Chain A
């Protein structure tokens, strides 16, 4: 086997091993900044080396060393990736200069990697990846004479021990109850090398995960903005500077790269729409990706909480919700899983079941929030492998009212009882558009007219939105109410006038108005 092939095999093995532990390592990451990206960064760095080797035609050792070192440098991602690139450089220089690779050379390679890594920092922090590479070098130097595969196997063990000690060396790790993420990643990398050196079969790197992984990495950067937005603008004479200046006002972590015919844009912003508008003004846009970074952070926190003994609540809520604003309301009130759906896009039993099964808590309360979803919800509850209670909420505001009564530390059954009781005191209404001519409940309706529904009964219809809404408010507030919750739909006209009227007419009423963003229903209301 040529040197190139040997190095390719080793690098691929390191990549596979890292990829397998990527998520676990991400979850360990609290130092230097708890942004949960160490596993991803190390994986991307090694992936860059693997790709360079795949494309390489190096025939001699110096060329190979140069290519590996350069690839590690260029593809280094994040703090851990930068440190790894130095370790690779130091080790590659030793290996490149050696005639034959025996255990003594392997030990010198680890020492070279350690020295090179320490060289690039003024004040090394112990309890990190640096400590682990140094201890690996020491272990390799003091190991009994053996063949390289056996030495690497021994180093995996020593490395694991070194990683276990990191919380004693670095307070932030001890406080967080984790070991160092970079060090843990380094050991996984050595584990891959050891397996390859021992001739063990290794699966191909799972290529399918490359793209989302790459996407993740850019998005994990700390940002005060919510959405990571990337797209490509194509045109004839694109002005990078102008686009940059315009985008700069929208957010941070801005990156505009390319040439006058194609610019790649990356920006963290709360208003991805505005960024896209700037793009379309400059040229044709494509490859649009918008990622919710808050959600990514939340998902990681959930994984961490679920891993803690006693950290998970006794029961959790799965809710079927339409509209981005409504989704956030449910999440803020503690719903653990949201299944998108509603009137015209009913989730399947399988959708509900998979959401139910992914809840970290033991028991689940399921809120269908629509009468058309009720049957699927009950079906999912029957076939689920855990205790599931369906609270038969028929609208989104009813679901919200029920959710207020939910407490995670109670059982699903206790919660369901409390939530049903909360629902009993709630009246719900909605304003929508009639989909066909009809005469129901003594009201004649024409297709396209607005329709007011109170607890399932049509109470008003007409061509004017304000009139229909006003009629519904009148019926809802015929009895004295404390709170009126209004969820504004995505197609609803402005509500300012109506809300001013309500405030003037019912000064004692607490108005709770949200941008629900649901389709079809211009207004969803609940009064208690």
Chain B
């Protein structure tokens, strides 16, 4: 596991995608996922440092940890879900939607998407 960019091999040379760029994509997809009303500020423990180190400030990449596992993307999402929803189903949808979109948009393999529901919020 490391934090370096992910490489897409091509005949004309290597294409490297930074974890920050991937986090941007993930953030946008997550925002459109039904039931997700926010990303958690805090991601616990060690992951927290990595998030703040890797990601540009103020972008929708908050609460997203991108790791490179043997050339595939491993993602952790720390999300806030609307109150009164079936959490397991929301998490399952987030997982498949994020994995699908990231693979579609980057061509990189997604090894795992772990969804952590950090909070449940009543929305007005």
Dominant secondary structure of chain A at its interface with chain B? loop
Is there contact, CB below 8 Å, between B84 and A33?
A: no
Is there contact, CB below 8 Å, between B37 and A121?
A: yes
Stretch of A70-78, A95-103, A287-295, A426-434 lying at the B interface: A70-78
Is there contact, CB below 8 Å, between B93 and A120?
A: no
CB-defined contacts of B33 to chain A, threshold 8 Å: 32, 121
Complex Cα gap A34–B104 (Å) = 12
Please provide the chain A residues from 76 to 101 with a CB less than 8 Å away from any CB of chain B in the complex: 76-79, 81-83, 85-86, 89
Is there contact, CB below 8 Å, between B96 and A73?
A: no
Does A513 interact with chain B (Cβ within 8 Å)?
no
Does B19 interact with chain A (Cβ within 8 Å)?
no
Is there contact, CB below 8 Å, between B85 and A82?
A: yes
Complex Cα gap A85–B36 (Å) = 15
Is there contact, CB below 8 Å, between B31 and A86?
A: no
Contact of A32 with B35 at beta-carbon distance under 8 Å, contacts A85-B86, A86-B85, A119-B82 already known? no
CB-defined contacts of B34 to chain A, threshold 8 Å: 32, 79, 82-83, 120-121
CB-defined contacts of A86 to chain B, threshold 8 Å: 84-85
Is there contact, CB below 8 Å, between B36 and A122?
A: yes
- One of A74, A77, A121, A221 near B35 (C-beta < 8 A): A121
Is there contact, CB below 8 Å, between A89 and B84?
A: yes
Chain A: interface residue count, which band?
20 to 34
CB-defined contacts of A35 to chain B, threshold 8 Å: 96
Does A436 interact with chain B (Cβ within 8 Å)?
no
Does B10 interact with chain A (Cβ within 8 Å)?
no
Residue of B nearest to A128 (CB): B34
Smallest CB separation, B98 vs chain A (Å): 10
Is there contact, CB below 8 Å, between B100 and A82?
A: no
Is there contact, CB below 8 Å, between A32 and B85?
A: no
Please provide the chain B residues from 45 to 99 with a CB less than 8 Å away from any CB of chain A in the complex: 82, 84-86, 89-90, 92-93, 96-97, 99
CB-defined contacts of A52 to chain B, threshold 8 Å: none
Does A499 interact with chain B (Cβ within 8 Å)?
no
**4 closest A-B pairs by CB:** A120-B82, A76-B86, A79-B93, A123-B31
- A-B pairs with beta carbons under 8 Å apart, 12 shown: A32-B34, A32-B93, A33-B97, A77-B89, A89-B84, A119-B82, A119-B124, A120-B34, A121-B35, A122-B37, A125-B32, A222-B100
Binding site for A on B (CB under 8 A): 31-38, 82, 84-86, 89-90, 92-93, 96-97, 99-100, 123-124
